[in-house]
Amino acid sequence: MASDKQSRPKARTVRGFRDRAAGELAAERAMLDTIRRTYESYGFDALETPFVEYTDALGKFLPDVDRPNAGVFSFRDEDEQWVSLRYDLTAPLARYVAENQQFLPRPFRRYQIGTVFRNDKPGPGRYREFIQCDADTVGTASPSADAEMVMMFADTLEALGLARGDYAIKVNSRKLLDGVLEAAGLPVTGSDEIRERRGTVLRAMDKLDRVGPHGVRDLLGKGRKDESGDFTRGAELDIGQAERIVSFIAPSGAANNLESHFATIARAVEGSATGEEGLKEVRAIMNLVTASGYEHNRVQLDTGIVRGLDYYTGAVFEAQLTFPVQNEKGQTVVFGSVGGGGRYDDLVARFTGQKTPAVGFSIGVSRLLTALLMRKTTTVETAPLVVVTVFDKNDAAPAFDIVRELRAAKIRAEAYVGTGKMGDQFKYADKRGAALAIIEGPDERAKGEVTIKDLALGAELAKSVESRAAWVGNREAQFSALRTNLVAEVRRALAREH
Amino acid sequence: MASDKQSRPKARTVRGFRDRAAGELAAERAMLDTIRRTYESYGFDALETPFVEYTDALGKFLPDVDRPNAGVFSFRDEDEQWVSLRYDLTAPLARYVAENQQFLPRPFRRYQIGTVFRNDKPGPGRYREFIQCDADTVGTASPSADAEMVMMFADTLEALGLARGDYAIKVNSRKLLDGVLEAAGLPVTGSDEIRERRGTVLRAMDKLDRVGPHGVRDLLGKGRKDESGDFTRGAELDIGQAERIVSFIAPSGAANNLESHFATIARAVEGSATGEEGLKEVRAIMNLVTASGYEHNRVQLDTGIVRGLDYYTGAVFEAQLTFPVQNEKGQTVVFGSVGGGGRYDDLVARFTGQKTPAVGFSIGVSRLLTALLMRKTTTVETAPLVVVTVFDKNDAAPAFDIVRELRAAKIRAEAYVGTGKMGDQFKYADKRGAALAIIEGPDERAKGEVTIKDLALGAELAKSVESRAAWVGNREAQFSALRTNLVAEVRRALAREH
């Protein structure tokens, strides 16, 4: 243990956490800069809330127990109060708005890009620390705010280089879902039992993509046995109720015609006040979106979208990438969701007691980055690097002069600061992935020259030459240049390579 | 409590944590982008380690107790292992290098910008969460690596707009400090008692700026009573020893001449092998820095620099801003330190058992940002915003058309998405700090026009007009424009204002 001075700690990351290197970070930064610019162009302002919040402010105490939810990282502060690492960026936003509402414009629109933490079991590609990118509008119930979110989401994906047709922003409403349940004769609020059944029904609806309409029908009824033989208990609805719900979330026939889709929905929710309100809102959102030129190839009404989070109270959105990828089983599937959101009208009320309408969406940064790298709209590329070797380690000044000149010309350059000989220095330059190495030994200096070695070309030639002897004789990959022409010659060599 | 559904949580940040708004974030981002570009131009690569590390990997267990240091935020993971929020970026780097050394180029050079956490008592301007910006070179003992750090530090400050003369990078060596103690007959390693006295002596030396040479002399001897009457026990050195140390850290006469300064140091450390080694290293660093054109007005040998951290083993650096500011007491003082660093050769060895030489420096981001804002080399400025009002809330599409056109022309614009009437919308635009508001009501539309209202000019005029009646009649702050000339007219109005 740590108290034993003889034993050394093992160098390892905490499980579920990872180190990230320059290439990924550069691609991510480029992506986030584009997202940020898009949000700012819409007039959303940046906000940063802290990484640590009081657990009660996050609403993350277990019900009826004075203990934090196991899914969040929590600890006691010096004063014994429970604090937690933020779990998302929405709960801190609600805290911020409740705390500062008298100073904020109304509606208040902000974006936040930040790391959040989940104390869940890690798995392949599932980390306990990841970045979210949220935009939210607080303090207005207007469908314009929802429509703006949807359009901004679409614009963001296009700003990132995704082509029209590669994505779709799906729109639905929690009120429509509740409406169809109500219209089917199922109460949606009331006892714990009723709310629990609503949860089971929503989860079943959410599985449409994976299990298809038949599977959902089973999950709404008695239950479903999956391929592995595991049985999931169903919501115990009768056949008529299940049928009504399935034909709502997976309507037969094309839904490209908005008006006919509205009419189908109207029939499904008929008699439910909640459902009719939901339809009115969704209609307003879709009409504004369409009038603004966002057609069905960008924004789609899709009654099959559920979005898991409990706190949504109205419209819900999901951004789906529609281009094909191979899954782990080698099957071709669509890439799928890269983010979503919706209306949540109760989060600020937790603090203030006053209902405060709000709407937002969140992008899963690492999933979106994966998609962009697949689509090659973002590449992991850093500026080419020049390594300047040091011939005499007691006289590094000439090498530092060279790198200073190169940097002044906007060329990324470093002088070797290790203690190795020339061979080590070339190995170092290779390992660094440098484009060029520059040598200025006594011979070169006497002639007022430098030797420029094209490392990528050298590696290329080394593959093709037949013998070591031929390789040593091969001078193509390096050339002499006048020291006074340094910058021009380096530029020329870099241009040849790229 | 949380289990009581009737009581609501209070909306507040955890003490020592704070929210940060758009202006500060934009200024900080601009600053960090410049720093990042400078580091990358030197060939340093980005790295991001996680926010959470095993406590033993951070070296943050209390000595001889199986309990984490109170200064770090620590908690037990599910598997009962202690984990902590990172306290700095250096300990995680040491863990990373120890874990990955076979894959890394040697020397390994990386930078990291990230939030770190201190579980300390917060105070005014002292937060428990703040951003550091570090660059480090691991795996070389060459003074070239130290010199590179020093020059990069200077280049970074100039890239941020600080003028030559506004800053100085101070260089010293822990070995020189130990050397002068040894030369004065004080052992520096050995029993706990000896190491503790070395600590007392270094702390006394570190107070030169605040208490002057006399104060340091007292602190090295019997002790010192400060203005408030509080007594600090001294290191109990004899007068000759104290004198020798004081004349080393605060040499009389100008130290602008490097060679004469080296000679003074040589006398002070004479007979101490550590001191002589330190002098050799500092000489190599300063010679390379000077040969590279970094003169005394940028980089200075300063034997008064201590740098508090225990883990430094050789050269130490500190970046000081030398321009005058007023302190809380209204006195004129220099701005002071914005960062520092040095050689730490033992951090990787904690894991591997093998000494791994390393050198780095860290910038305190919020302090440097304060300095840049004072020097006005960075300003808190966001792009001007145009708010487009919505006349008929059931027909927001025309407003959305306008903002889309403006955004396509790179003008930051938002359509009002609240539910307020026109008066509320203008109030909203004011509160947002918008430059312009645009109105397209039925009258305007009939004429193919929009009304553009210059909000800043309007506020200006409102101050100067005598009566409300005169103000209402004043049309200077708003004008009509053809809808087809929208972008050009908005550009003209924005240009007039800026």
What's the pLDDT tens digit per position in A475-493? 568 999 999 999 999 999 9
Judge: B19–A48 Cβ closer than 8 Å, yes or no.
yes
B376: left (phi over 0), alpha (psi -120 to 50) or beta: left
Given CB atoms, is B393 within the 8 Å cutoff of chain A?
A: yes
Question: Judged by CB atoms within 8 Å, which residues 232-271 of B form the interface with A?
Answer: none
Lowest pLDDT segment from A268-277, B96-105, B144-153, B237-246: B237-246
Which amino acid is residue A204, in one-letter code? A
Q: How many CA atoms lie within 13 A of A343 on its CB side?
A: 27
Task: Examine the pLDDT at B40 and tell me if it is beyond 60.
Answer: yes
Among the listed residues B331, B320, B368, the one whose alpha carbon sits nearest the alpha carbon of residue B34: B368
Q: Which residues in chain B are contacts of A390 at CB distance < 8 A?
A: 144
- Using CA atoms, how far apart are residues B71 and B469, in angstroms rounded to an integer? 63
Nearest by CB to residue A46, choosing from B26, B65, B142, is B26
Which amino acid is residue A5, in one-letter code? K
Q: How many CA atoms lie within 13 A of B245 on its CB side?
A: 35
Judge: A66–B2 Cβ closer than 8 Å, yes or no.
yes
Q: How many CA atoms lie within 13 A of A32 on its CB side?
A: 22
Nearest by CB to residue B51, choosing from A78, A115, A432, is A115
Long-range pairs, A1-9, Cβ under 8 A, ≥24: A1/B56, A1/B66, A2/B55, A2/B56, A2/B61, A2/B66, A3/B61, A3/B63, A3/B64, A3/B65, A3/B66, A8/B350, A8/B351, A8/B352, A8/B353, A9/B54, A9/B56, A9/B57, A9/B59, A9/B350, A9/B351
Task: Examine the pLDDT at B432 and tell me if it is beyond 90.
Answer: yes
Structure-block tokens of residue A181: 């349940």
Q: Which residues in chain A are contacts of B396 at CB distance < 8 A?
A: 142, 144, 147, 288
Instruction: Tell me which H or E stretch contains B196.
Output: helix B192-206
Among the listed residues A105, A118, A266, A238, the one whose alpha carbon sits nearest the alpha carbon of residue A180: A266
Residue A317 to residues A174, A341, A369: CA-CA distances in angstroms?
10, 5, 20
Tokens 């550009």 sit on residue = B491
pLDDT tens track for B102-144: 999 999 999 999 999 999 998 888 899 999 999 999 999 999 9
Strands of the sheet containing A449-454, edge to edge, are: A412-415, A385-388, A436-439, A449-454, A478-482
Q: For a pLDDT cut of 90, what percent of chain B falls above it? A: 66
Task: Examine the pLDDT at B473 and tell me if it is beyond 50.
Answer: no
Q: How far is CA A355 from the centre of its chain?
A: 30
Q: Region A14-36: what's the mean pLDDT?
A: 95
Q: Region B231-235: what's the mean pLDDT?
A: 88
Given CB atoms, is B69 within the 8 Å cutoff of chain A?
A: no
pLDDT tens track for A186-223: 877 778 888 888 888 888 888 888 888 899 999 999 99
Nearest CA in chain A to B113: A25
Nearest CA in chain A to B13: A53
Structure-block tokens of residue A368: 């979106």
Radius of gyration of the CA atoms of chain A, in A: 30
Which amino acid is residue B477, in one-letter code? A
Residue A107 neighbours by CB under 8 Å, 6+ apart: A137, A138, A139, A140, A145, B417, B418, B428
pLDDT of residue A325: 86
DSSP letters of A392-433? STT--HHHHHHHHHHHHTT-EEEE--S---HHHHHHHHHHTT
Q: Which of B53, B54, B84 to mutate to test the interface with A (most CBs of A within 10 A)?
A: B54
Task: Examine the pLDDT at B481 and tell me if it is beyond 80.
Answer: yes
Q: Which residues in chain B are contacts of A352 at CB distance < 8 A?
A: 8, 11
Given CB atoms, is B182 within the 8 Å cutoff of chain A?
A: no
Task: Examine the pLDDT at B465 and tell me if it is beyond 60.
Answer: no
Enter the DSSP assignment of B433.
Answer: T
Nearest CA in chain A to B425: A106
Comparing A403 with A327, the larger pLDDT belongs to A403
Tokens 């992991």 sit on residue = A380
Given a contact cutoff of 8 angstroms between Cβ atoms, the answer to whether B108 and B135 are in contact is no
Q: Region B426-446: what's the mean pLDDT?
A: 94
Tell me what percent of chain B is helix, strand and coil, each rounded to the nearest 5. Answer: 40, 20, 35
Q: Which residues in chain B are contacts of A394 at CB distance < 8 A?
A: 284
Given CB atoms, is A211 within the 8 Å cutoff of chain B?
A: no
- Using CA atoms, how far apart are residues B134 and B125, in angstroms rounded to an integer? 21
Task: Examine the pLDDT at A470 and tell me if it is beyond 60.
Answer: no
Q: Which residues in chain A are contacts of B413 at CB distance < 8 A?
A: 41-43
Given CB atoms, is B141 within the 8 Å cutoff of chain A?
A: yes
Q: Region B389-400: what's the mean pLDDT?
A: 92
Judge: A142–B419 Cβ closer than 8 Å, yes or no.
yes
Instruction: Give the minimum alpha-carbon distance from A31 to chain B in angstroms, rounded to a whole number.
Output: 15
pLDDT of residue B64: 67
Instruction: Give the minimum alpha-carbon distance from B225 to chain A in angstroms, rounded to a whole number.
Output: 32
Q: Region B4-14: what's the mean pLDDT?
A: 81
End-to-end CA distance of chain B: 52
Nearest by CB to residue B12, choosing from A41, A99, A393, is A99
Lowest pLDDT segment from A207-221, A411-425, B431-445, B453-467: B453-467
Given a contact cutoff of 8 angstroms between Cβ atoms, the answer to whether B497 and B471 are in contact is no
Judge: B43–A414 Cβ closer than 8 Å, yes or no.
yes
pLDDT of residue A462: 66
Tell me what percent of chain A is helix, strand and coil, each rounded to the nearest 5. Answer: 40, 20, 35
Nearest by CB to residue B9, choosing from A293, A351, A403, is A351
pLDDT of residue A473: 46
Nearest by CB to residue B291, choosing from A21, A81, A397, is A397
Given CB atoms, is A400 within the 8 Å cutoff of chain B?
A: yes
Given a contact cutoff of 8 angstroms between Cβ atoms, the answer to whether B221 and B231 are in contact is no
pLDDT tens track for B286-327: 999 999 999 999 999 999 888 776 789 999 999 999 999 888
Judge: B47–A396 Cβ closer than 8 Å, yes or no.
no
Given CB atoms, is A369 within the 8 Å cutoff of chain B?
A: no
Q: Which residues in chain B are contacts of A396 at CB distance < 8 A?
A: 142, 144, 147, 288
Judge: A418–B115 Cβ closer than 8 Å, yes or no.
no
Residue A80 neighbours by CB under 8 Å, 6+ apart: none
Q: Which residues pair with B336 in a beta bridge?
A: B321
Q: Region A295-316: what's the mean pLDDT?
A: 88
Judge: B52–A129 Cβ closer than 8 Å, yes or no.
yes
Q: Which of A417, A426, A430, A455 to mutate to test the interface with B (most CBs of B within 10 A)?
A: A417
The interface pTM score, or ipTM, of the predicted complex is 0.90
Nearest by CB to residue A17, choosing from B50, B139, B350, is B50
Structure-block tokens of residue A107: 């509606």
Task: Examine the pLDDT at A349 and tell me if it is beyond 80.
Answer: yes
Strands of the sheet containing B449-454, edge to edge, are: B412-415, B385-388, B436-439, B449-454, B478-482
Comparing A201 with B48, the larger pLDDT belongs to B48
Given CB atoms, is B144 within the 8 Å cutoff of chain A?
A: yes
pLDDT of residue A1: 40
Instruction: Give the minimum alpha-carbon distance from B391 to chain A in angstroms, rounded to a whole number.
Output: 13
Instruction: Give the minimum alpha-carbon distance from A58 to chain B in angstroms, rounded to a whole number.
Output: 9
Among the listed residues B446, B442, B454, the one whose alpha carbon sits nearest the alpha carbon of residue B492: B454
- Using CA atoms, how far apart are residues B147 and B285, in angstroms rounded to an integer? 5
Nearest by CB to residue A9, choosing from B119, B128, B351, is B351
Counting one residue from A and one from B, how many pairs have CB atoms under 8 Å apart? 302
Tokens 């990955």 sit on residue = B100
Q: Which residues in chain B are contacts of A414 at CB distance < 8 A?
A: 42-43, 109
Residue A485 neighbours by CB under 8 Å, 6+ apart: none
pLDDT of residue B148: 96
Q: Which residues in chain B are contacts of A41 at CB distance < 8 A?
A: 407, 410, 412-413
Task: Examine the pLDDT at A121 and tell me if it is beyond 50.
Answer: yes
Given CB atoms, is B498 within the 8 Å cutoff of chain A?
A: no
Task: Examine the pLDDT at B246 and tell me if it is beyond 80.
Answer: yes
Given CB atoms, is A495 within the 8 Å cutoff of chain B?
A: no
pLDDT of residue B193: 82
Q: Cis omega (within 30 of 0) on the bond before B9?
A: no
- Using CA atoms, how far apart are residues A220 and A235, in angstroms rounded to an integer? 5
Q: Which of A51, A79, A432 to mutate to test the interface with B (most CBs of B within 10 A)?
A: A51
Q: Which residues in chain A are contacts of B140 at CB distance < 8 A?
A: 417-419
Q: What is the pTM of this model?
A: 0.91
Given CB atoms, is B4 within the 8 Å cutoff of chain A?
A: no
Tokens 């321009």 sit on residue = B323
Q: Region B470-491: what's the mean pLDDT?
A: 81
Residue B362 neighbours by CB under 8 Å, 6+ apart: B88, B89, B90, B132, B133, B134, B339, B340, B341
Pairing of strands B385-388, B412-415: parallel
| Three-class DSSP category at B37 | helix
Residue B60 to residues A198, B23, B228, B271, B471: CA-CA distances in angstroms?
48, 36, 34, 37, 66
Pairing of strands A412-415, A385-388: parallel
Given a contact cutoff of 8 angstroms between Cβ atoms, the answer to whether B62 and B74 are in contact is no
Task: Examine the pLDDT at A472 and tell me if it is beyond 70.
Answer: no
Nearest by CB to residue A413, choosing from B43, B145, B410, is B43
Question: Judged by CB atoms within 8 Å, which residues 406-465 of A form the interface with B?
Answer: 407, 410, 412-419, 428, 431-432
Given CB atoms, is B33 within the 8 Å cutoff of chain A?
A: no
C-alpha angle B366-B367-B369 in degrees, rounded to nearest 5 = 65
Judge: A106–B3 Cβ closer than 8 Å, yes or no.
no
Q: How far is CA A193 from the centre of its chain?
A: 35
What does the mean pLDDT of chain A come to? 90
Instruction: Give the minimum alpha-carbon distance from B113 to chain A in angstroms, rounded to a whole number.
Output: 12
- Using CA atoms, how far apart are residues B320 and A226, in angstroms rounded to an integer? 67
Nearest by CB to residue A14, choosing from B22, B52, B393, is B52
Question: Residue A125: which pLDDT band, with cuts at 50, 70 and 90?
Answer: confident
Given a contact cutoff of 8 angstroms between Cβ atoms, the answer to whether B256 and B290 are in contact is no
Given a contact cutoff of 8 angstroms between Cβ atoms, the answer to whether A417 and A445 are in contact is no
- Using CA atoms, how far apart are residues A209 and B110, in angstroms rounded to an integer? 44
Residue A377 to residues A33, A165, A211, A498, B231: CA-CA distances in angstroms?
14, 15, 32, 19, 66
Task: Examine the pLDDT at A231 and tell me if it is beyond 50.
Answer: yes
Question: Residue A6: which pLDDT band, with cuts at 50, 70 and 90?
Answer: low
Task: Examine the pLDDT at A4 and tell me if it is beyond 50.
Answer: no
Pairing of strands B449-454, A436-439: unpaired
- Using CA atoms, how far apart are residues B48 and A365, in angstroms rounded to an integer? 15
